[in-house]
Amino acid sequence: MEVFSYLLATGMTTGALYALVALGIVVIFKATNVVNFAHGEMFMLGGFLAYTFHIMLGLPYIVSLVLAVAGTFVLGILVDRIAFRPLMARQSLVSVLLAMVAISFILKGVARELWGGKGDYLPFPPIVSPQPIMFGNIMIMSQQIVVFFAAIAIMIIFGLFFTYTRIGKFMQATADNAKAAKLVGLKIDRIYMYTFGIGSAVAGAAAVLMAPLTLLYPDIGFVLFIKGFAAATLGGLTSIPGAIIGGLAIGIIEQMAAGYVYTGLQDVAAFVVIMVVLIFIPNGILGQSGVRKV
Amino acid sequence: MKKHRFRLGLLATMIAAPLISMACPALAEDGVTDKEIRIGAFGPFGGPVYLYGRLVMNGVDAVFQKVNEAGGVHGRKLVLVREDDNCKPEGAIAAVKKLAYQDKVFGIIGGACSNATLAATPEIEKSGLPMIVNSAVADGITTPPKKNIFTTQLTSSIESRAQIDRAIKLGAKKIAVVRMTDAWAMARYNPLMAYAKEKGIKFVANVELQIDAPDATPQALKLRAAGADAVIMLLYAKPGAVMIRDSLKIGYKPYWLGETAINDFAAFQKQVGIPNALEKFATITAVAYQPTDPEMAPWTKRIKSLFPNDELSTFNMNGIGSAEVLVEALKLAGKDLTREKFLAAMGKIKNFKTSVYAGTITCNPPKSHQCNQNPGWLGLVKGKIVHLD
């Protein structure tokens, strides 16, 4: 029972990590119908920005967090202005996706130049005590609990944002039918810009919370993006609660497979399950189907 | 008429030959002029393992800068020509060909990724370029010895043996292994298993951990369940830190035995992030110092001046040590430098002390071209990082 408890708890905390990444992917997809393949690099840069402000420049933790979030927000807007907007104007979705991949490579290269010579894996201090704490009959890292509740909090905030704010509703309307949204007077370019900014800012915030657990290095973005994307796909690319469910499911499957079957399965088990699930539920657990009401 | 032309041709040849030989020095080996010696390097500039390429090359450049400031070797400045191999076999083969036949370098210092360097080994042998390997650890690169390839890096079998010997020395009754599954780890794992068999050791657990895994609780639970009192790690620093962190979380505290991928002890302490987590951790090191040690201050300053964004790292230090060996061999080879003389000079290097390596460098051709046989051990004693016996 102790082993099961540990695997379940760490599955949930690791899953929360994936869910945080998935949330940003879903926010952008929900509004633009585009998967931001550079989302992992936004996360990576958010972490490095926080490292620069807090470790290198000695600014307080909270100030560094705010600046990292602001930095990734600006970066998200730049991605929109440089790649998304001009390419979408030509109705070229494939070009947009390729541009996102290109941006991810460029950002990785920039990170290697700026921070790559400072060490192999850069540590970042946790917001809470680094010591594990007792939780029921098992020990959990304090920072993992912070990440878990942060994922839930961000999910709730976005749920409220999309339901109750004007800009949130505009984003949903634009995602549902961009042409119709434009016809009724919505400035969809501006909405896309905010979407990229907000999605990237989520990555920035997530990076600061997760960096003490994942450490910082230029290639961390891609690894987490793959897991986050898998979580978003499993949960349903248009569903914010789905991102959380998908993330937790992947985390738990990974831990159980490694704990009860074979440690070598840790990395692949979730993908096998996703393949099987998507055969039967192509839109993911909570994803919307392509059918529209008339 | 034909006879006349032949005589004229012969005369022209007789006049031209000495003139040509005067224009080109007798030692006209590729990559060597009166003013400079061009040395090639290959390894990854980008990708997850750029540290073993770009940063090691930066260390080599630091030594070259120092030597050049002092007037060079026998009056010749050292120039490093870098090639990116992307850590891929085909990339390494192409890089060696370009260095040998297009850039026409005198020799090579480098080779970052084991698989890539191993794949390029036949091409290096064919080119005849002297090479000093400074990062790749696969034994196959220098075993059996190749006439023109030496290594100053500890090889995987040397490290694997040292890990098992240390576990035995610590009195461990149940030994386990936790490993990554990429080419780097397999280059260590195979000799580890062979030596364990030789010693009659059967690992009580053998678990896998991926390089980017954010959690190692399942692995920690399996190791604990097996009752392992010493765990041999074939891991990079990140999975190593995650492994120790999650083991502590479940209250599991065996002896942890790392290798040179985790030889920046001070940085590893920060990566694990939990105070006193490394009390039972020891790791193999090829270098004698930590980057923050006062003995390394001159190199810190030099790296900073050459690469302002960088901090001195153990990767730089591997480049520094190997470049010092290269410079020593160039000195011993004399002013009339040829590749044959350089290779002969490599054989004369005995008990050579570099400014960074933990042990001395001794090359014993033709018997062994593995010139670094001295793994050092780092551990904590009363909270201080020290070299262990």
Q: Which of residues 192-221 of B touch A (CB under 8 A)?
A: 207-210, 212-215, 217-219, 221
- Residue B311 has its nearest CB partner, among A118, A212, A267, at A118
Q: What percent of chain B has pLDDT over 90?
A: 81
Q: Which residues of chain B from 51 to 70 reach within 8 Å of chain A, CB to CB?
A: 51, 54-55, 58
Q: Which residue of B has its CA nearest to A123?
A: B271
Exposure string of A80-97, with b = 16+ CB inside 10 Å and e = fewer, is beebbeebbeeeeeeebe
| pLDDT tens-place string over residues B308-334 | 989 999 999 999 999 999 999 999 999
First to last CA, chain A: 52
Instruction: Please give the C-alpha separations between residue A36 and each of A93, A185, B137, B388, in angstroms, as whole numbers.
Output: 12, 26, 38, 49
Residue B22 scores a pLDDT above 70: no
Nearest to B271 among A117, A141, A215 (CB): A215
Assign A30 a pLDDT band (cuts: 50, 70, 90). confident
Task: Give the single-character DSSP code of B182.
Answer: S
* Whole-Å CA distances, A35 to A38, B138, B337: 9, 41, 58
Rounded Cα gap, residues B46 and B86, in angstroms: 7
| Per-residue pLDDT, A293 | 47
By Cβ distance, the residue of B51, B207, B267 closest to A263 is B207
Helices (H) and strands (E) in chain B, counts: 13, 12
Task: Kindly list the residues from chain A whose CB atom is less than 8 angstroms away from the CB atom of residue B236.
Answer: 120
pLDDT of residue B8: 55
Beta strands at B77-84 and B131-133: parallel, antiparallel or unpaired: unpaired
Helices (H), B98-200: 114-127, 156-169, 183-198
Confidence label for B24 from pLDDT (cuts 50, 70 and 90):
very low
The residue among B20 and A184 whose pLDDT is bigger is: A184
> Considering only CB atoms, which chain B residues are within 8 Å of A222?
none
B141/B151 Cα distance (integer angstroms): 9
Nearest to A30 by CA among A235, A222, A205, A245: A235
Phi, psi of B73 (to 5 degrees): -105, 115
Q: What is the pLDDT of residue B275?
A: 85
Helix (H) or strand (E) holding B207: strand B205-208
Residue B295's closest CA among B336, B353, B352? Answer: B353
Asked if residues A91 and A186 have their Cβ atoms less than 8 Å apart, the reply is no
Nearest to A59 by CA among A41, A77, A42, A71: A71
A275-280: average pLDDT: 84
Q: Decide if B305 touches A, using CB distance below 8 A.
A: no
Sign of torsion over alpha carbons B142, B145, B148, B151: positive
The average pLDDT across B260-271 equals: 90
> Is B238 in the A-facing interface, judged by CB distances under 8 Å?
yes
In this structure, the strands spanning B175-179 and B205-208 are parallel
| Distance between CA atoms of residues B253 and B260, nearest Å | 21
Longest dimension (CA), chain B: 99
pLDDT of residue A294: 47
Chain-chain contact of B221 with A141 (C-beta, under 8 angstroms)? no
Q: Are B318 and B286 in contact (CB under 8 A)?
A: yes
Residue whose C-alpha is closest to residue B218's, from A136, A293, A6, A175: A6
**A269 vs B252, higher pLDDT:** B252
Contact check, Cβ <8 Å, A214/B208: no
pLDDT for the residue numbered A154: 83
Answer yes or no: is the ipTM higher than 0.90.
no
Contact B235, B261 (CB under 8 A): yes
Q: Is B362 helix (H, G, I), strand (E, B) or coil?
A: coil
Q: Are the Cβ atoms of A259 and B221 closer than 8 angstroms?
A: yes
- Residues B157-161 have a mean pLDDT of 94
Nearest to B210 among A10, A131, A267 (CB): A267
Interface of A with B (CB under 8 A): 3, 6-7, 10, 13-14, 17, 108-109, 112-121, 123, 125-126, 130-132, 138-141, 212-215, 217, 219-220, 223, 255, 258-259, 262-264, 266-267
What is the rounded distance in angstroms from the CA atom of residue B359 to the CA atom of residue B351? 8
b/e B160-183 (16+ beta carbons within 10 angstroms → b): bbbbbebbeeeebebbbbbbbbbe
- Side chain identity at residue A71, one-letter code: G
Does residue A39 have a pLDDT over 80? Answer: yes
From the list A112, A113, A123, which residue is nearest B273 (CB)?
A123
Rg (CA), chain A: 19
Asked if A10 lies within 8 A of B246 by C-beta distance, the reply is yes
Region B19-28 average pLDDT: 48
**What's residue A32's pLDDT?**
84
Nearest CA in chain A to B224: A3
pLDDT value of residue B65: 97
CA angle A114, A117, A120 (to 5 degrees): 115
Provide, rounded to the nearest whole percent, the portion of chain A with pLDDT above 70. 98
| Band of residue A133 on the pLDDT scale cut at 50, 70, 90 | confident
Using an 8 Å CB-CB cutoff, list chain A residues near B307. 117
How does residue B287 score in pLDDT terms, banded at 50, 70 and 90? very high
Between chains, do A219 and B214 touch, taking CB under 8 Å as contact?
A: no
Mutate: best of A3, A48, A113, A120, partner B, most B CBs <10 A = A120
Candidate from A7, A139, A219 with C-beta closest to B218 = A7
Q: Can you say how many angstroms the Cα of residue B290 is from the centroid of all Cα atoms in its chain?
A: 17
Instruction: Write the residue in A7, A117, A266 that is nearest to B311 by C-beta.
Output: A117
Residue-wise pLDDT for A241-277, tens only, equals 899 999 999 999 999 999 999 999 988 887 888 888 8
Tokens (6 digits) for B273? 């992030």
Residues of A in Cβ contact (< 8 Å) with B274: 130-131
User: Can you tell me the distance from the alpha carbon of A264 to that of A252, in angstroms, rounded to the nearest whole number?
Assistant: 15
- The pLDDT of residue B12 is 56
Q: Measured between CB atoms, which of B210, B221, B237 is closest to A121?
A: B237
* Whether pLDDT at B105 is above 50: yes
**Residue B80 and residue B64 in contact, taking contact as beta carbons nearer than 8 Å:** yes
**Amino acid B7: pLDDT:** 59
> With 80 as the cut, is the pLDDT of residue A185 above it?
yes
Residue B266 forms contact with A (CB below 8 Å): no
pLDDT tens string B110-142: 999 999 999 999 999 999 999 999 999 999 999
> What is the distance between the alpha carbons of residues A129 and A143, in angstroms, rounded to a whole number?
8
pLDDT of residue B23: 46
Q: Is the separation of the CB atoms in A204 and A73 below 8 Å?
A: yes
Confidence of residue B26 (pLDDT cuts 50, 70, 90): very low
Q: What is the structure's pLDDT at B9?
A: 57
Q: How far A120 CA lies from chain B's nearest CA (Å)? A: 7
Contact between residue B229 and residue B255 where contact means Cβ atoms under 8 Å apart: yes
B246: which chain A residues are within 8 Å (Cβ-Cβ)? 10
pTM of the complete model: 0.86
Q: What value, to the nearest 5°, has the Cα angle with vertex B85 and ends B322 and B181?
A: 85
Q: Give the residue from B275, B215, B209 showing the smallest Cα distance to B236.
A: B209
Residue with tokens 């940085």, as numbered in its chain: B267
